[in-house]
Amino acid sequence: MNFELETKINEQQIKELGGLIKDAQKILLVGHKNPDGDTIGCLTAMVEYLKSINKNYAAFSADELPVNLEYLKHSLEIRSDKNIFNHSFDLVICLDTADLKYSGVEIELNRLKERGVKIINIDHHPSNYGAINIVDDQASSTTVILYDILRVWRVVINKDMATSLLAGILVDTMNFMNSATNDKSLGLSAKLLQQGAKFNMVSRQLYQTKTRDGLKLWSRLLKRLKKNDTLNIAYSVILAEDIEEAGTEETEGMSNFLSNLAEARISMIIKEIRDGEIKVSIRAIDKGANAAELARYFGGGGHKKAAGFTIMGRLEQEGEGWRIV
């Protein structure tokens, strides 16, 4: 190899995966549920590659694609219909999917696994469920790992791939604002720009997508912002009726925005979902804070900087605060 890898992944494993892809008849690419720019960036870049080598494939994410990612080439091929599992696949590649549960199709994937189908895990969350695990939990996004993989396979990164890979970096570094922003994520982004990635489009699509109705929801969120001084947690709530009144569910970006707060260790958004479920997203503000630890305590998951969990119930105001009933 006459170049240096961006991530701490094992070259041998990448070559092994290359062999598995070569031998496979039909490959299933799986992203995580509630897909973001990293998982979709990975899926679309992989689709571009598999197409270029004339492989049969399908790409899946358990939830529908957010409209602000539709500009990525091949994104509209990604299916969220579980009927796709009626097809026979002989290799599964999970991208940016911390565990099988996070894929939203745990049962289906386990069934394939029982039939001897290999599940490959490519990720920057600490994870270890694959037959091969190509993981670097220091990488700022999974697309950075995928970039290394493609380079080890000697793939020429074209401008569509470059745009997809950049989308993952921009999302996971919050447009180069959070602590995943470092010499590596910046340096690789510069390389991707040289390879034709459309930086302005990615950035605009990710961060300038608010509507007036959406911003009405934001106003509720900000109005209700509270802080628990004992726990040093800032939090706010979004009620089901807020969503109904605003006529939109646009809560994208709220959790990340709240983590701009300088006065707390952790920020939290507690959101009622219509059918009596409450979704809590947690962000670590302080470097030492661990969002995943808190989420796991409530049966959820995620990574150190961003995590979440879901519980059943409704929110009710109680004095200055809220309680779950």
Chain positions contacting Mn ion, by CB under 5 A:
38, 96, 141-142, 172
**Least gap, CB of 115 to Mn ion (angstroms):** 29
Nearest CA-CA partner of 119 in 85, 145, 91, 84:
91
Which residue's C-beta sits nearest to Mn ion?
Answer: 38
DSSP 79: B
Q: Which pair of structure tokens corresponds to residue 245?
A: 């009144």
Closest to Mn ion by CB, 61 or 236: 61
Q: Which pair of structure tokens corresponds to residue 282?
A: 């947690």
Closest to Mn ion by CB, 148 or 172: 172
Closest to Mn ion by CB, 123 or 250: 123
Closest to Mn ion by CB, 181 or 232: 181
**Least gap, CB of 123 to Mn ion (angstroms):** 8
Strands (E) in 19-108, as ranges, are: 26-30, 56-60, 91-95
Closest to Mn ion by CB, 142 or 256: 142
**Least gap, CB of 321 to Mn ion (angstroms):** 33
Q: Which pair of structure tokens corresponds to residue 263?
A: 């006065």
Angle between helices 199-207 and 159-172 (to 10 degrees): 40
**Least gap, CB of 302 to Mn ion (angstroms):** 10
Burial 37-47 (b: 16+ CB within 10 A, else e): bbbbbbbbbbb
Give residue 94's region: left, alpha or beta (phi > 0; psi -120 to 50).
beta
**Least gap, CB of 231 to Mn ion (angstroms):** 27
